[in-house]
Amino acid sequence: MEINARCRDYINGPDWHRIPCMPISAVYTVKGGTLAQYDQVIEGLAKLPSPPGGLAHIAATTNDGFIVCDIWDSPSSLEGFATIIAPLIEAAGLSALVAPPVVGPIANLVAGESVNQLPSVAIIFKFPGMTVEKYRDVVKQVPFNTVPATARRAHIATQTPEGMLILAVWDSEATFRQFEPALRQALSANGVEAPAPVIANVYKIAFSPDAARSFAPA
């Protein structure tokens, strides 16, 4: 799979010319990939100069592989990183396993003080057809105080060509399940069907201290 081509599809689109410095996320799904292969890629990156513009990195295991979410300060930073990492992915035998990344501008990013702590879980929702405005309407009705603030470690909302992709990091699946009924009630009140989330155990997470500085809750 050609990572660079997928990234350029978005970077060269009309939205990026309108907002050239918009922070961007890229979510990669690697079915059949192993943590040993992931570690090989990370070890290869560690031997190279740090690419500029990286704000956050999350890697989490799923039932059939792993997912990676990277946040960059701009589309150009993502494109530069894609050029660097492509040969490392190929060397680790992952090229045929990595699905085209879901790439889009970040609509909201919240990171708590405990964001980089482990263990934690990543909860991923895809909402086809959801707009940023609808997402904000839902967030306004979610009673976040039903769970401790320290349990909600990070929230990333990405606008994609298909709708909205939400990746939330929680201290545990049990805490998220406690919160889930309130979330689904807010979604239902706004006419949004709640799909089943993907739940992945976070293997590695690193947020820059400045990652959420430019963002406020929606």
Same CATH fold assignment for domains 3-104 and 106-202:
yes
Task: Write the DSSP assignment of the chain as a string of letters.
Answer: --HHHHHHHHHTSHHHHHSTT--EEEEEEEET--HHHHHHHHHHHHTSPPPTTEEEEEEEEETTEEEEEEEESSHHHHHHHHHHHHHHHHHTT-TTTBPPPEEEEEEEEEE-TTTT-SS-EEEEEEEET--HHHHHHHHHH--GGGS-GGGEEEEEEEEETTEEEEEEEES-HHHHHHHHHHHHHHHHHTT---PPPEEEEEEEEEE-TTTTTT----
pLDDT tens-place string over residues 121-173: 999 999 999 999 999 999 999 998 889 989 999 999 999 999 999 999 999 99
CA-CA distance, 173 to 133, in Å (whole number)? 28
Q: Which of 23, 5, 2, 30 is nearest to 97 (CA)?
A: 30
Which class in CATH covers the domain with range 106-202?
alpha beta
Q: What average pLDDT does this structure show over 79-91? A: 94
CA-CA-CA-CA torsion sign (10, 12, 16, 18) = negative
**Domain ranges, ordered by start, for the chain:** 3-104, 106-202
pLDDT tens-place string over residues 14-39: 333 333 447 899 999 999 999 999 99
Task: Please tell me the predicted confidence (pLDDT) of residue 212.
Answer: 58
Task: Please tell me the predicted confidence (pLDDT) of residue 30.
Answer: 97
Candidates 3.40.50.2030, 3.30.70.100, 3.40.190.10, 1.10.579.10; CATH matching 3-104: 3.30.70.100
Beta-bridge partners for 155: 110, 168
pLDDT tens-place string over residues 27-72: 999 999 999 999 999 999 999 998 899 999 999 999 999 999 999 9
The CA-based angle 78-25-181, given to 5 degrees, is 170
Q: What average pLDDT does this structure show over 105-133? A: 94
What pTM was computed for the model? 0.86
